Chains A and B, each alone.
Chain A
């Protein structure tokens, strides 16, 4: 178990540690299987290019899942999320290379309420572009 944050030690405006996730074609293949989302733009470059994308792109919900992992890891409790929402703004383009691409996530505390709940705003980027916006969560610290 990671060291859990203590609610009374937190402050509005506080930045949470950054985390970088590697996303490769294998990640997309595994996510397709795990989620049941087999849309061709997530595995066929030919189809992705046909609809005007630069290359295969990650499932938006996979990027969202990485954000959830970031939040629960910080909270030290996989059941800590009370609310979590994102807007899919730009695709995460995943080239067919061993390195794939990366998704960088940082968080900032927006609000603390009287019920040990923390409102967190995520910044989620890939290749320097914001891929999710309005990525916000309420996390309950027990």
Chain B
């Protein structure tokens, strides 16, 4: 059953605030072996013009993916989440996230379409500080594969 295109444009309530910490930034940078001092050393970050250590570019997935999955599990939307795969991901940056940022995500259903029995939904996640400063926008394409498809 195709998804209800009436959901296009629906805006979900902001997620609970998430505080970006220096420790979590360092942990994230360590996984990809990124030793850039701007992720660990406040002085180095200041020298680059940032007020505190900054987060690697895809750090926002910590909050955007969870926010997207909350929408996927919205029973009103009726997406079969057991068949959902992450198709595309794109970030558009106003500024890097940084330690001390208290951020929330507001998810908007950007588009819904069906092709060959697959449902495709694009969720936009606007990541901003609780003070209202916008940092990054995430665009997540989720594909719910047709029940006829072998996984």
Q: Spell out A's residues near B (CB within 8 Å).
A: 21, 27, 30-31, 33-37, 51-52, 60-62, 64-66, 68-69, 71-73, 77-79, 81-88, 134
Contact B87 A88 (CB under 8 A): yes
In the bound complex, what is the Cα–Cα distance between A20 and B42 (angstroms)?
A: 29
Number of B residues near A (Cβ < 8 Å) is 35
In the bound complex, what is the Cα–Cα distance between A60 and B61 (angstroms)?
A: 11
Q: Which of B31, B86, B92 has a CB less than 8 Å from the CB of A60? A: B86
Contact B151 A79 (CB under 8 A): no
Q: Which of B28, B38, B65, B66 has a CB less than 8 Å from the CB of A34? A: B28
Chain A to chain B: the 6 pairs with minimum beta-carbon distance, closest first: A85-B90, A68-B57, A79-B96, A65-B58, A34-B28, A78-B38
In the bound complex, what is the Cα–Cα distance between A27 and B34 (angstroms)?
A: 13
Contact A61 B58 (CB under 8 A): yes
Q: 8 Å CB contacts to A: which residues of B52-106?
A: 54, 56-58, 61-62, 65-66, 85-93, 95-96
In the bound complex, what is the Cα–Cα distance between A50 and B9 (angstroms)?
A: 36
In the bound complex, what is the Cα–Cα distance between A62 and B62 (angstroms)?
A: 12
In the bound complex, what is the Cα–Cα distance between A54 and B28 (angstroms)?
A: 27
Contact A62 B86 (CB under 8 A): no
Shortest CB distance B60–A (Å):
10
In the bound complex, what is the Cα–Cα distance between A65 and B150 (angstroms)?
A: 29
In the bound complex, what is the Cα–Cα distance between A47 and B141 (angstroms)?
A: 24
Contact B150 A52 (CB under 8 A): yes
Shortest CB distance B80–A (Å):
14
Given contacts A65-B57, A79-B95, 10 further A-B pairs with CB under 8 A are A33-B27, A36-B62, A36-B65, A37-B65, A60-B86, A68-B32, A73-B36, A82-B93, A83-B90, A88-B87
Shortest CB distance B136–A (Å):
10
Chain A residues near B61 (CB-CB < 8 A): 35, 37, 61, 64-65
Contact A84 B90 (CB under 8 A): yes
In the bound complex, what is the Cα–Cα distance between A61 and B66 (angstroms)?
A: 13
Interface residue? B24 (CB, 8 A): yes
Contact B57 A84 (CB under 8 A): yes
In the bound complex, what is the Cα–Cα distance between A43 and B50 (angstroms)?
A: 36
Chain A residues near B93 (CB-CB < 8 A): 81-84
Chain B residues near A21 (CB-CB < 8 A): 32-33
Q: Which of A72, A83, A85 has a CB less than 8 Å from the CB of B88? A: A85
Contact A85 B38 (CB under 8 A): no
Instruction: List 21 A-B pairs, Cβ < 8 Å.
Output: A21-B32, A30-B30, A30-B31, A31-B31, A34-B28, A36-B62, A36-B65, A52-B151, A60-B89, A61-B89, A68-B58, A72-B36, A72-B56, A72-B57, A78-B54, A78-B56, A79-B95, A84-B57, A85-B89, A87-B87, A134-B88
